[in-house]
Amino acid sequence: MSMPRVLRAADYPRMPWKNGAGSTQEILRDGGADLDGFGWRLSIADVGQPGPFSAFTGYQRVITVLEGAGMRLVVDDVPSRELTAGDAFAFDGGSRVQCELLGGAIRDFNLIYAPQRFAGRLQWQRVNGPLRLFSAADTLLLFSAGEGLEVRLDGGETLHLGRHDCLHLEGNGTLRELVLDALAVVDCCLIELQPR
């Protein structure tokens, strides 16, 4: 079981999209020397104009609008519902995806993982006072969409997450307790990944 790591938003590297139409801040990924070899990847993308998404064949994608009015995705010619802040949407990474913006540029949060290698679960939580969560997943990622999220892991020291910071935990299947708290309302995303 590894020590918890807090990844700071200011340190995320910026990289171009596979299709060259925009840029992404990569939070973390599990291996891979390029954008096709990883097991899972977490990132934040800035979408400034409508257009196609990059294809990630063999991967599952879950996307959530963080900032801006929102978007609609057309996935293999089927329009999604209007996606606004905090509304997660899952689709096959190999699909043909066209993005339509609802009112200007947005920023979104992305989980991409290989479902043949990992079982994935993503849940958004609104923290407004203590919230107790438990998980035995091998990989836990906790992303804060706002400022001032406090996390106590297994009754230990309190870790502080700022806006777009991410807590990364690797375990061995042991049940972990996370107690989340915040002075003001903070939305956060808990991601659990389990090797198959």
Give the per-residue pLDDT at 34.
62
- Which tokens in the block code for residue 128? 């407004």
Let me know whether 126 and 108 are in one domain: no
Total domain count, the chain: 2
How many other C-beta atoms can be found within 10 angstroms of the C-beta atom of residue 192?
A: 18
Last residue in a domain, options 56, 81, 113: 113
Average pLDDT over residues 166-187: 93
Is it the case that residue 172 has pLDDT exceeding 90? no
Contact 70, 84 (CB under 8 A): yes
The model's pLDDT over 33-81, given as tens digits with 9 standing for 90+, comes to 666 689 999 999 999 999 999 899 999 999 999 999 999 999 999 999 9
Let me know whether 107 and 133 are in one domain: no
Is it the case that residue 167 has pLDDT exceeding 90? yes
How many other C-beta atoms can be found within 10 angstroms of the C-beta atom of residue 45?
A: 19
Q: Examine residue 49 and state whether it is found in any structural domain, yes or no.
A: yes
Last residue in a domain, options 78, 113, 148: 113
Q: Examine residue 4 and state whether it is found in any structural domain, yes or no.
A: no
Q: What CATH number is attached to the domain comprising 63?
A: 2.60.120.10
Domain of residue 162, residue span: 118-195
Q: Examine residue 148 and state whether it is found in any structural domain, yes or no.
A: yes
Let me know whether 138 and 153 are in one domain: yes
Q: Examine residue 65 and state whether it is found in any structural domain, yes or no.
A: yes
The model's pLDDT over 90-103, given as tens digits with 9 standing for 90+, comes to 999 999 999 999 99
The model's pLDDT over 6-30, given as tens digits with 9 standing for 90+, comes to 999 999 999 887 776 678 999 999 9
Last residue in a domain, options 113, 144, 173: 113
Q: Examine residue 3 and state whether it is found in any structural domain, yes or no.
A: no
Cα 174 to chain centroid distance, Å, stands at: 23
How far is the C-alpha of 137 from the C-alpha of 178, rounded, in Å?
13
Q: Examine residue 45 and state whether it is found in any structural domain, yes or no.
A: yes
- Which tokens in the block code for residue 130? 């203590």
